[in-house]
């Protein structure tokens, strides 16, 4: 992802909206952009609070459990963000040389360290699909969503 953005950097006038396109969201981009500008962020990620289907725990080297939480609600990044062109000044050749996915994570972590990465919490509809089965289920859900919405 980072390499693709880097290669098109000359085409970015001021900022761009990036989406991995594997999540359908009813995002109010205008509201997100307003929040992004107000905060003065160089990047703003779309997040959603999602209940984990698993209990999460931490433990030390001796395997004694330090903490346990059953199915917590966590903040997840859901694959879309606003990026200022100026943020690309933080990209290094090492980031670009990393395998796809690893470079963008390192890039985001640099922005976190510099307090330049904001979160935009999305509370509306969001459906993620990464496999053929998930795509089929998303298609059914979207069909139901729009059928029900149109009937109201």
Q: Tell me the pLDDT tens digit for each residue of 65-107.
A: 999 999 999 999 998 999 999 999 999 999 999 998 899 999 9
Write down the pTM of the prediction: 0.81
Q: Given phi > 0 = left and psi -120 to 50 = alpha, else beta, which region is 63?
A: left
**What percentage of residues in the chain have a pLDDT greater than 70?**
94
CA 150 to chain centre: 29
Decide: helix, strand or coil at residue 1: coil
55: tokens are 């209990």
């Amino acid at each position: 992802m980072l390499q693709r953005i880097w290669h098109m950097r000359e085409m970015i006038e001021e900022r761009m909206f990036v989406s991995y396109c594997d999540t359908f969201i009813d995002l109010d981009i205008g509201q997100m952009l307003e929040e992004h500008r107000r905060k003065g962020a160089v990047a703003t990620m779309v997040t959603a609070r999602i209940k984990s289907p698993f209990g999460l725990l931490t433990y030390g080297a001796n395997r004694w459990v330090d903490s346990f939480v059953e199915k917590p609600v966590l903040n997840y990044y859901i694959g879309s963000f606003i990026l200022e062109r100026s943020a690309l000044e933080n990209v290094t050749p090492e980031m670009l040389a990393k395998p796809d996915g690893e470079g963008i994570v390192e890039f985001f972590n640099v922005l976190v360290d510099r307090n330049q990465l904001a979160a935009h919490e999305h509370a509306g509809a969001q459906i993620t699909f990464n496999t053929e089965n998930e795509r089929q289920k998303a298609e059914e859900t979207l069909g139901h969503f729009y059928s029900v919405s149109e009937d109201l």
